[in-house]
Amino acid sequence: MLKRQNPSTPEHSKDLAADGGALSMSHNDSRPFFNLSQLVLSAGQSKPSPALKHSKITYFEVEIVDMQSKKQICIVDKVPPASTLLDVKHKFHKACPQWYPSRVGLQLELNGPFLKDSISIQSLAVSSIITLYFTDLGQQVGWTTFFLTEYTGPLLIYLLFYIRLSTIYDQVESRKNFRHPVVHLACFCHCLHYIRHLLETLFVHKFSEGHTPLKNMIKGCAFYWGFTSWIAYYINHPRYTPP
């Protein structure tokens, strides 16, 4: 008769132990791979890819209205929100070439202050259409040109009187009369004063990109040049005597 094998025999125990050991070893071998995959998945979940935001850019339309007649001059369209008033002036200049940016004065309200070129269009917008009032500031000159012209004139004018041109003084009288040393000292101080101003204008002072009307330069030159001619005529006169 065949004897039923007892599962609790040593051979069977050894077989089960071997099978269990093999399973445990395979389980232990797969555990690092499982931990690594979990780590990769968790890292991917901790930094989700940002969703693409489709932001719609809103453009503005700037209506330019004449201050005097209250009539529309033109409309500057497709102005981005990040644009400045200077950008609007350049586009306005393309539509109306006779008015270059430095000549254009824009106001948000009637009789209001002129807006600065650096101001943002978005800060002025109440709706998608912005109305600005235009004023012609007249012909403009830069500040550097303004001061160079104003200071160069007195320097040259004084030297013309100092050398005693025949068209200003009598040549015979100029040769006879002796020049007092104070006349030479006055010429030196006058020239040094305006040369210093010219050098400061070129190398020291920093001017913005702002401009000033041409009529202001004419007024300043008339004062400086006229006053220089008046004092230079008497100081360099052949009959001049120091006090």
Six token digits for residue 166: 């025949």
CB neighbourhood size of 25 (10 A): 10
Contact 127, 59 (CB under 8 A): no
CB neighbourhood size of 209 (10 A): 11
Report the pLDDT value the prediction gives residue 39, as an integer from 0 to 100. Answer: 56
**Annotated domain spans of the chain:** 60-138, 142-236
Q: How do residues 23-49 score in pLDDT, each as one tens digit?
A: 444 445 555 555 655 655 555 554 444
pLDDT confidence bin for 55, thresholds 50/70/90? very low
CB neighbourhood size of 152 (10 A): 17
Query: Nearest Cα to 73, choosing from 101, 102, 95, 103?
Result: 95
57 Cα distance to chain centroid: 24
Report the pLDDT value the prediction gives residue 178, as an integer from 0 to 100. Answer: 85
Report the pLDDT value the prediction gives residue 171, as an integer from 0 to 100. Answer: 84
Q: What is the mean pLDDT of residues 121-144?
A: 91
Report the pLDDT value the prediction gives residue 31, as an integer from 0 to 100. Answer: 59
How many CA atoms lie less than 13 Å away from 3 in the CB half-sphere?
4
What is the β-pairing status of strands 104-107 and 60-66? unpaired
Q: What is the mean pLDDT of residues 109-120?
A: 90
Q: How do residues 184-205 score in pLDDT, each as one tens digit?
A: 999 999 999 999 999 999 999 8
Distance CA 54, CA 231 (A): 72
More confident residue, 48 or 125: 125
79 Cα distance to chain centroid: 18
pTM (predicted TM-score): 0.65
Q: Is the pLDDT reported for residue 137 higher than 50?
A: yes
Alpha helical stretches, state H, the chain: 10-46, 85-95, 121-124, 143-162, 171-176, 181-199, 214-235
- The CATH number for 60-138, chosen from 3.10.20.90, 3.20.20.330, 3.40.50.970, 3.40.50.1820, is 3.10.20.90
Average pLDDT, the chain: 82
Distance CA 106, CA 233 (A): 46
Report the pLDDT value the prediction gives residue 34, as an integer from 0 to 100. Answer: 59
